[in-house]
A = this chain, B = another copy of it.
Amino acid sequence: MKDLFVIKIGGNIIDDDGKLSAFLKAFASITEAKILVHGGGKIATDTGNKLGIESKYIKGRRITDDETIDLVTMVYGGLINKKIVAQLQAESCNAIGLTGTDANIILAKKRAFKEVDFGWVGDIETVDISLLNIFFEKSITPVFAPLTHDGKGNILNTNADTIASSLAVALSKEYKVKLIYCFDKKGVLQNMDDESSVVRFINKKKYAELLTEQKLFAGILPKIENAFAAIDAGVDAVIIGAAENLTENISEQNQGTLITN
């Protein structure tokens, strides 16, 4: 099977023009098939504030009401997505900007909540990779905004990490997929204050040991559990690392954390 990289970047890169530009250069230089999934960033909050759209929270969780889904459709699906595509085109990477709505690639279901309606939030039901296969054949690089749809005319807000892992799992039927989460640390750290304490390699045995030795911080555990879930579902490996180390992290000179079965 051919190699394929599914790479996710978050707000910390998107909000910093210099970091984003450096990241996109590194991303564009990857010669294997690849997908970029981007999250939002401060720009959505800032634009929302200017438009007088209040961020509403219930029990600490953001509500995606009518105004908010329009806001993220504009900012994620329009501004951030198309700016990234234009920059990749300038780096000779033939990118195409997409949401899950486009060509029905990611169909989701509006989440049913028991007590509170959190709004236009979607849980992924199906991923159709047929068009993605054609894009890879033509050396076209999909760039996904974190939006899906319900097939009934509604756009839904779906977590970018989840979109990345769902795409990776669906594509693992036909490709050897490496799923890369770029985040604000160099990798999984044993000591949160020491960037040199990256755990370079984790498999299930090692993870059990780290848990027993209580060497990991609670905040990172869900990320590792999600990585194992993706691997169990067919993904070859998950890499957690800093966006600025992308080139090294997909090579033998890995600076981040490589997670395998």
Question: A-side interface residues toward B, CB under 8 Å?
Answer: 47, 50-52, 70, 73-79, 81-83, 85-87, 89-90, 94-99, 101-104, 130-131, 134, 138, 140, 147, 149, 151-155
> Is A90 within 8 A of B151, CB to CB?
yes
**Chain B residue nearest in CB terms to A52:** B50
> What are 27 A-B pairs with beta-carbon distances under 8 A?
A47-B51, A50-B51, A50-B52, A74-B74, A74-B78, A74-B79, A76-B78, A77-B78, A77-B79, A77-B97, A78-B81, A78-B82, A82-B101, A85-B99, A85-B102, A86-B101, A86-B153, A89-B101, A89-B149, A90-B152, A94-B104, A95-B103, A96-B103, A97-B99, A97-B102, A134-B134, A134-B138
> Is A82 within 8 A of B155, CB to CB?
yes
Instruction: Give the residues in chain B near A74, CB-CB below 8 Å.
Output: 47, 74-75, 78-79
> Is A103 within 8 A of B140, CB to CB?
yes
> Is A138 within 8 A of B149, CB to CB?
no
Instruction: Give the residues in chain B near A97, CB-CB below 8 Å.
Output: 77, 99, 101-102
The answer, among B76, B89, B101, for a CB contact under 8 Å with A85, is: B101
Instruction: Give the residues in chain B near A47, CB-CB below 8 Å.
Output: 51, 74
Bound Cα distance A90, B156 (Å): 14
Bound Cα distance A40, B249 (Å): 42
Bound Cα distance A51, B49 (Å): 9
Instruction: Give the residues in chain B near A73, CB-CB below 8 Å.
Output: 78-79, 82-83
Instruction: Give the residues in chain B near A149, CB-CB below 8 Å.
Output: 85-86, 89
Instruction: Give the residues in chain B near A155, CB-CB below 8 Å.
Output: 82-83, 86
Bound Cα distance A73, B96 (Å): 15
Instruction: Give the residues in chain B near A154, CB-CB below 8 Å.
Output: 86
> Is B70 within 8 A of A89, CB to CB?
no
